[in-house]
Structure 1
Amino acid sequence: MTETATGIRTGGGPGAWLAFTGCLLSVFMQMIDVTIVNTALPAITTDLRATSAQQLLIVSGYSLAFACTLLPAARLGARAGRRRMFLLAVVAFTAASVWCGTADGAGELVIARIVQGVAGAGMAAQTIAVLTALFPRELHTTVFALYGATSGFAGLLGPILGGGLVTADIAGLGWHSVFLMNLPLGIVAFALAWRYLRLDAPPRRAPMDPAGVVLSAVTLFGLLYGLSEIHLHGWRPLPCSIVAAALVAGAVTLRHERRADRRGAGPLVRLDLFADRGFAVGSIVVTGFFGLFTAFVFAISITLQDVLQFSPLRTGIAMTPFALGAGAGALLSPVLVKRWGVRVLAGGLVLYAACVLMGVAYVNITDGRVNMLLCAAPVFLCGFGAGVFAVPLQPIMLAGLDDEQMSEASGLLPTIEQIGNGVGLALLSAAFFRAHTLGGSTVMLSAIAVVAVVLAAVTLALPDPDTAPVRPLPAPAPAVN
């Protein structure tokens, strides 16, 4: 346990837990804004007369901006101070949320969402480094499980809360409230971080790696933008060429980062992290799962509202057992993983996939007529499988890294997650936006179930928690930021 010049102890004491609460609020805001818009999108479209392109950008513009700026935001935090960067990002995110909630045009909302995504990246890129610094190693499993549970729960709660807020129409705000709800959350997160978040300064000022910043941004933007254009215009030469160029830019980025690492020039991406088996396999699994989950939430939202003609409120009610099941799975997962290891994660995904296929069969047999009471148990089990899988994933993935490596992973892990979000949404949109039929929903949800089974098999390559090597902790830095 260390004590800063401000007298705040950062070794898991009360101050650390209060600062952690502020971080969790920021995680909640970041993740809920990925999915809460899905349920509100029909109301937004009607009110703002949004085109198909604007609808897609309202949803994916946030994730695109988020993904493209996470790595430089993490490096800025390492240079300027995690606390300072986090506080500035909370203010910017809260202000951008208010802008989203007061937008009176679809184009303005798209721009506000992009700004919100950039600010969200500023918060998210500091979180893992902050948690590593606030708590001793023996508490990392607990805090990362809470971090993962908050992230997953926010994503699950988004469609439900979005439907409830739009239907309730509090003070006549309608869809505007799905963004304005971040105002009180942002104020509390800022107050807790301002008072209790005190961190030791980094031992060195890593260079920004401007070439790496540009190359990574070009790669991510080109990939996700190209996939979005494929959705809008089909498999035409231009968007396909953009995707191909992005893949080439990705190869150039990796080559540059390897050279920077060999020169000791402070690469933006620490490729040596992938030498750890847990992180390497976990990166594949995290990318797949976040893409899978984002695609699932989006497909379910469109299926229920556009295909089955559910109201936003009924959509929220229909998804409530899923959220409850995910919560139950999250609570039981640590006990289950301790007993059976990573097989529990694989089993959770298989259960999830089986329930998705069961739902697909049910709506086809009934021709879209849904008895929600009859569906409650399978939907609960579907969420239970997702919760069992998602919560232990990050602690297992990070278990073999030391504190310095975790700090370097602070921007990389959420970047991997957002790549999964963006790619999953873009690939789904490319087919699903033009298939708002029961048959189209059947194909997409069946494909999601198949991907989940494949991902379950890959998950078995993760090291079990009790076999992951624990590396020695570096000495704390004496300076105060």
Structure 2
Amino acid sequence: MFMQMIDGTIVITALPSITAELAVSRQAQLLVVSGYSLAFACTLLTAARIGELVGRRSMFLASVAVFTAASAWCGMSGSAGELVAARVVQGGAAAGMTAQTIAIVAASFPRERHQQVFAIYGAVAGFAGMLGPIAGGALVTADLFGLGWHAVFLINVPLGLITFALALRYLHLGRPAQRERLDLGGALLSTVGLFALLYALTDIQQNGWRTGSFAMIAAAVVCTAVFFVQQSRAARRGRNPLVRFDLFTDRRFAIGSILVAVFFGMFTAFVFAVSITLQDELGFSAWRTGLLMTPFAVGACVGALASPMLVRRFGVRTLTVGITAFGACVAVGAVYLHLIEGAVSVPLVIGPVFLAGLSVGMFCVPLQPIMLSGLDQRRMDAASGMVPTVEQLGNALGLALLSAVFFREHTVAGSVTMFAAIAVVAFGTAVLTFALPEAADNAR
């Protein structure tokens, strides 16, 4: 999780150096970032199903090996095209690792410990996500052994080797009871449909609404409709489909999926707006931006680790308080940005930034175990690919819609509008949490 999360953000601060050395075009710059995220999101469902068929341990080890090799390939790339190709392979391998996580946790720990395990998992994810830009700036600036931007990718090689060795030694899971066949038709339809939708949303976020974007979205809708019919027919015939739609008959999972999608879309838009506001509008360097957001990462880790105790005491209302507090912090930030007109006092904002991170940790970490608490082991396996796919769809959808509607001009006034919109979405999410039943463990 640490490698996957940090790799999604660490490259952003290295892009100027990559552009200068490889003479990367603007389109190629976007592909260096989006190629990874598209490959990651579009292969999660298939990777989860393959893991279910061949064994989670085997799939995880193979994915770690490919991810490590692809990272070395990224670090040794000598052209823009080679780097983009390596990033696509890296993103697909990252999906292979991530898609096994929920199933591995469910199989390795008793249900009563899931809150604690996911708290540690969430703390690592939050810390890695915020560390990425800081680490990227530090590695490029330090220019270790004259590697420059190459170190941003090569750092994954020792991490990958350590991960592989630890998983080989300590990850012991049973083999699948019976060998089944992969639903190739479903895998193709889901991959094409997700790619069309996510590519269109990425284009909307970068260039606004265009005819091509509408055409890609229409293609995605058609593929999704065909996929739904094909998967439903497979389930009726007693086959094992790529996606089990009966997951959504569980109210916790259904409402939790909506909350996951809305939250990750809102949060991705928030991180994007913070980066644009601080660097493009207020003149902060990438390094200084990362340092300013460090209290957020610390707060998220504290909130994540404290969340099991809070959920045991207050149940799902922990989520309500967490997302409401986050919305309040963002709203206060919007008002503050409007009043100071660009002259930010760093000491003054450290407290609210920490509180915003704390609130995020309180909300997003307990959400996953609560939404999964009513599933049996079989459906938990199916959810292993579904949950991260919903997260990725939320990321793309929220960023595209919020930035296209509220953040057309990268000015301080535009930032104020964007933060206000994010606060409204956060408050709406808080209202939705009242529809979420208590987790099964808490209900007892």
TM-score, normalized by the shorter chain, greater than 0.5? yes
| Amino acid in the other structure paired with 1:62 | Y
Q: 1:125 aligns with which of 91, 95, 99?
A: 99
| Amino acid in the other structure paired with 2:165 | A
Alpha-carbon offset, residue 458 of structure 1: 1.4
Q: 1:185 aligns with which of 159, 181, 185?
A: 159
Q: 2:259 aligns with which of 280, 285, 300?
A: 285
Q: CA–CA distance in 1 between the matches of 2:191 and 2:46?
A: 9
Greater alpha carbon shift after TM alignment, 68-77 vs 354-363: 354-363
Is 2:58 aligned against 1:80?
A: no
Q: CA–CA distance in 1 between the matches of 2:169 and 2:81?
A: 37
Alpha-carbon offset, residue 146 of structure 1: 2.2
Task: Report the counterpart of residue 312 of structure 2 in structure 1.
Answer: 338
Greater alpha carbon shift after TM alignment, 66-75 vs 458-467: 458-467
Alpha-carbon offset, residue 234 of structure 1: 3.4
Report 1:418-437 matches (<5 A). Answer: 418-427=392-401, 430=404, 435-437=409-411
Report 1:39-78 matches (<5 A). Answer: 39-78=13-52
Task: Report the counterpart of residue 280 of structure 2 in structure 1.
Answer: 306
Alpha-carbon offset, residue 217 of structure 1: 0.9
Specify every segment of 5 or more residues in structure 1 that has no aligned partner in the other structure, as ranges: 1-26, 471-481
For residue 30 of structure 1, give the secondary structure of its aligned residue in structure 2: helix
Task: Report the counterpart of residue 386 of structure 1 in structure 2.
Answer: 360
Task: Report the counterpart of residue 381 of structure 2 in structure 1.
Answer: 407
> Contact (CA 8 Å) 1:92, 1:119: kept in 2 or not?
yes
Task: Report the counterpart of residue 17 of structure 1 in structure 2.
Answer: none
Task: Report the counterpart of residue 460 of structure 1 in structure 2.
Answer: 434
| Amino acid in the other structure paired with 1:226 | A
> Contact (CA 8 Å) 1:70, 1:125: kept in 2 or not?
yes
Q: Aligned pair in 2 of structure 1 residues 350, 172: CA closer, same or farther (>3 Å)?
A: farther
> Contact (CA 8 Å) 1:348, 1:388: kept in 2 or not?
yes
Task: Report the counterpart of residue 152 of structure 1 in structure 2.
Answer: 126
Q: Aligned pair in 2 of structure 1 residues 446, 175: CA closer, same or farther (>3 Å)?
A: farther
Task: Report the counterpart of residue 292 of structure 2 in structure 1.
Answer: 318
Q: 1:172 aligns with which of 122, 146, 149?
A: 146
| Amino acid in the other structure paired with 1:59 | V
> Contact (CA 8 Å) 2:255, 2:436: kept in 1 or not?
yes
Alpha-carbon offset, residue 223 of structure 1: 0.4
Q: CA–CA distance in 2 between the matches of 1:397 and 1:156?
A: 25
> Contact (CA 8 Å) 1:166, 1:312: kept in 2 or not?
no
Q: Aligned pair in 2 of structure 1 residues 108, 453: CA closer, same or farther (>3 Å)?
A: farther
For residue 89 of structure 1, give the secondary structure of its aligned residue in structure 2: helix
Alpha-carbon offset, residue 216 of structure 1: 0.8
The alignment-based identity, stated in percent, is 59
Is 2:275 aligned against 1:267?
A: no
Alpha-carbon offset, residue 60 of structure 1: 2.3
Alpha-carbon offset, residue 277 of structure 1: 1.0
Task: Report the counterpart of residue 9 of structure 2 in structure 1.
Answer: 35
> Contact (CA 8 Å) 2:74, 2:86: kept in 1 or not?
yes
Q: Aligned pair in 2 of structure 1 residues 391, 384: CA closer, same or farther (>3 Å)?
A: same
> Contact (CA 8 Å) 1:227, 1:239: kept in 2 or not?
yes
Q: CA–CA distance in 2 between the matches of 1:113 and 1:262?
A: 38
What is the aligned residue count?
Answer: 444
Q: CA–CA distance in 2 between the matches of 1:349 and 1:463?
A: 17
Q: CA–CA distance in 2 between the matches of 1:357 and 1:160?
A: 26
Greater alpha carbon shift after TM alignment, 263-272 vs 416-425: 416-425
Alpha-carbon offset, residue 129 of structure 1: 1.6
Alpha-carbon offset, residue 428 of structure 1: 5.1
> Contact (CA 8 Å) 2:202, 2:396: kept in 1 or not?
no
Alpha-carbon offset, residue 446 of structure 1: 2.3
Q: CA–CA distance in 1 between the matches of 2:270 and 2:393?
A: 16
Q: 1:398 aligns with which of 359, 372, 393?
A: 372
Q: Aligned pair in 2 of structure 1 residues 126, 449: CA closer, same or farther (>3 Å)?
A: same
For residue 329 of structure 1, give the secondary structure of its aligned residue in structure 2: helix
Q: 2:80 aligns with which of 84, 103, 106?
A: 106
| Amino acid in the other structure paired with 1:282 | G
Specify every segment of 5 or more residues in structure 2 that has no aligned partner in the other structure, as ranges: none
Q: Provide the aligned C-alpha RMSD in A.
A: 2.2
> Contact (CA 8 Å) 1:224, 1:426: kept in 2 or not?
no
Greater alpha carbon shift after TM alignment, 306-315 vs 153-162: 153-162
Is 2:214 aligned against 1:243?
A: no
> Contact (CA 8 Å) 2:316, 2:436: kept in 1 or not?
yes
Q: 2:327 aligns with which of 350, 353, 367?
A: 353
Alpha-carbon offset, residue 398 of structure 1: 0.8
TM-score scaled by structure 2?
Answer: 0.93
Q: CA–CA distance in 2 between the matches of 1:153 and 1:459?
A: 25
Alpha-carbon offset, residue 433 of structure 1: 8.4
For residue 43 of structure 2, give the secondary structure of its aligned residue in structure 1: helix
Is 2:424 aligned against 1:450?
A: yes
| Amino acid in the other structure paired with 2:314 | W
> Contact (CA 8 Å) 1:257, 1:269: kept in 2 or not?
yes
For residue 460 of structure 1, give the secondary structure of its aligned residue in structure 2: helix
Deviations 1:205-234 (A, max 9, x none): 233111111111111011011222334543
Q: CA–CA distance in 2 between the matches of 1:141 and 1:120?
A: 24
Task: Report the counterpart of residue 415 of structure 2 in structure 1.
Answer: 441
Greater alpha carbon shift after TM alignment, 211-220 vs 248-257: 248-257
Q: Aligned pair in 2 of structure 1 residues 143, 439: CA closer, same or farther (>3 Å)?
A: same
Task: Report the counterpart of residue 390 of structure 2 in structure 1.
Answer: 416
Q: CA–CA distance in 1 between the matches of 2:236 and 2:344?
A: 59
For residue 99 of structure 2, give the secondary structure of its aligned residue in structure 1: helix
Q: CA–CA distance in 2 between the matches of 1:357 and 1:29?
A: 32
Q: CA–CA distance in 1 between the matches of 2:187 and 2:434?
A: 34
